Amino acid sequence: MNQIIIDGESLSIDDVVAVARYGAPVILGEKAKAAIMRAHDWVEKIVEQGAPVYGINTGFGIFAEQRIPNEDSARLSRNLILSHAVGTGPALDEEVVRAAILVRANTLAKGYSGVRVSVVETLLSLLNKGVTPVVPCQGSLGSSGDLAPLSHLALVYTTDDRNLEEESGWAWYQGEILSGKEAMAKAGIERIILGAKEGLALNNGATFSAAIAALAVYDATTLLDAANVSLAMTLEAVMGCLAAFDERLHVARGQIGQIQVAAAVRKLTEGSELTDAYGRVQDAYSLRCAPQVQGVSWDTLAFVKKIVETEINAATDNPLLFDPGVAVSGGNFHGEPVGQVMDFLGIALTEVASISERRTFRLTDGHLNADLPPMLVDRLSAAGLNSGLMMPQYTAASLVLENQTLATPDSVHSLPTSAEQEDHNANAMTAARHTRQIIANTAHVLAIELYTAARALDLRLRQSPQIKFGSGTNQAFGIIRQSVAYQPGDAWWGPEIDKVHALIIERKLESSTFS
């Protein structure tokens, strides 16, 4: 697996996925090392000069005016980590924590934070040696960044001269959950005592929000591509009208995503003998308007990706240090950019799942599916004895309803903290977590549509054994049937749908891969 070099400038979403999910090794670039050392030298000079500078020799938040003696710098950093590690709720997935470690290391590699090189290299050692801190999923407002999650992360790899195990948090290592101290020792990684500014540099910034967002962008791309396939398969299964996908129609509106979805469906259904075979003039909106609905989700994703890729290469702590050693206080830790775009993406994916479920409903309704059996039972004579695909549609409907609640924007909600010093908060972490759940739900909704459409196409083949599917839909149908055979009677559909879900996640049902 290719090695990822971080430099604070060029981290991509694909890099995040490679490291977080697949364990790609990571190293620190040489130019980044130089930038980090330069900024750390600036911090040391500020400490020597003695003038009060926020986060270096002062308290935090409401206590920003409290001057801290230089000899207490290490204690100040350690106190910040200990007192802020107050998250709650179930642990975040390991891939999310790994993504956050990578993003934080990349932020520090920009050379504006003032930490030592050893701090960044310790973060990279966590990734390369498989130590993953256990981080609760709740407790962050996304401003001043993801304070609680980042502090739980730092508990594991930082310490003080007491080096207490009970203050080391918890970590996954080689399949076990151990104390942070034990996990670090077993992995052969030395825990570090923080110096001036380093505690704030480690827990200030919307890093976990950005990490979840990066994974979400990658997964949303996968789902939108699969949604093109599920749309095309359903269109054929119900003998839908191709006129709604005419290139001229979509060019006349000019929406880029809409044009792309319509083009993908035309390509997938090329050569089909099922489309337009029922004699309808036009289809219901879930088919006819699918390019408009799914297309704007592609457009939204493009915007979200731009913001997120910028954020994972951003300097997000406070203050930042600039040549010739000037500390500038601001608000780059505020998670509003991530919070807003996660809300946008959650809404976009919710609509994709919603229209997919409506197509599944049409496939199973004997009055709407162009003379296929109700609930796609094997034969009409089996109706009643068999329920067919009645219940998978229930599941899809349930997930869509959940999405519709989760998609209510989080970034518009704010409560003040720190005695009104932090009077507007982004709620970015909640937005990111909700969007991650929407993505998981949407993947299953699309799996249900693909599974249902494949069964409907089987029944079309029974009606007309020589019928030809579209070139792309035929390939998709074949991939599904290689994984899951057709079952004539009722069966345990759940595990079979899970196999189709796996095909989606593994990117084996992407419209762009079919000729």
pLDDT of 62 strictly over 80: no
Residue the block writes with tokens 């095309």: 232
- Specify the pLDDT at position 98: 98
The better pLDDT of the pair 59, 351 is held by: 351
Q: 259-314 pLDDT, tens per residue?
A: 999 999 999 999 999 999 999 999 999 999 999 999 999 999 999 999 999 999 99
Percent of the chain exceeding pLDDT 70 equals 100
Q: 149-163 pLDDT, tens per residue?
A: 999 999 999 999 999
Q: Which helix (H) or strand (E) holds 6?
A: strand 4-6
pLDDT of 329 strictly over 80: yes
Q: Which helix (H) or strand (E) holds 402?
A: helix 390-406
pLDDT of 67 strictly over 90: no
pLDDT of 368 strictly over 80: yes
Q: Using 50, 70 and 90 to split pLDDT, how confident is the model at 369?
A: very high
Omega into 291 within 30° of 0, i.e. cis?
no
Nearest Cα to Cα of residue 255 among 298, 209, 314: 298
Looking at every residue in the chain, the average pLDDT score rounds to: 95
Q: Which helix (H) or strand (E) holds 290?
A: helix 290-311
Report how far residue 1's alpha carbon sits from residue 24's, in angstroms, rounded to the nearest whole number.
Answer: 6
Q: 328 φ, ψ to 5°? A: -115, 120
pLDDT of 385 strictly over 90: yes
Say which residues have a Cβ less than 8 Å from residue 252's Cβ, sequence separation at least 6.
none
Q: Using 50, 70 and 90 to split pLDDT, how confident is the model at 229?
A: very high
Say which residues have a Cβ less than 8 Å from residue 418's Cβ, sequence separation at least 6.
61, 62
- Specify the pLDDT at position 393: 98
**Is 54 considered catalytic here?**
yes
Q: Report the Cα–Cα distance between both ends of the chain, in Å, rounded.
A: 28
The better pLDDT of the pair 513, 202 is held by: 202
Q: Using 50, 70 and 90 to split pLDDT, how confident is the model at 20?
A: very high
Write out 254-270 in H/E/C secondary structure. CCHHHHHHHHHHHHHCC
**Domains along the sequence of the chain with CATH:** 4-205 (1.10.275.10), 211-316+330-413+424-513 (1.20.200.10)
List 22, 54, 278, 451, catalytic entry: 54
Q: Using 50, 70 and 90 to split pLDDT, how confident is the model at 257?
A: very high
User: Which residues make beta-bridge pairs with 326?
Assistant: 322
Q: Which two tokens stand for residue 433?
A: 């977590």
Say which residues have a Cβ less than 8 Å from residue 217's Cβ, sequence separation at least 6.
13, 301, 304, 305, 308, 345
User: Which residues make beta-bridge pairs with 159?
Assistant: 193
Longest dimension (CA), the chain: 89
- Specify the pLDDT at position 55: 77
Overall average pLDDT of the 485-503 stretch: 97
Contact 399, 350 (CB under 8 A): no
- Specify the pLDDT at position 173: 98
Say which residues have a Cβ less than 8 Å from residue 103's Cβ, sequence separation at least 6.
11, 16, 207, 210, 211, 214, 312
Q: 419-468 pLDDT, tens per residue?
A: 888 889 999 999 999 999 999 999 999 999 999 999 999 999 999 999 99
Contact 168, 160 (CB under 8 A): no
pLDDT of 384 strictly over 80: yes
Q: 167-224 pLDDT, tens per residue?
A: 999 999 999 999 999 999 999 999 999 999 999 999 999 999 999 999 999 999 999 9
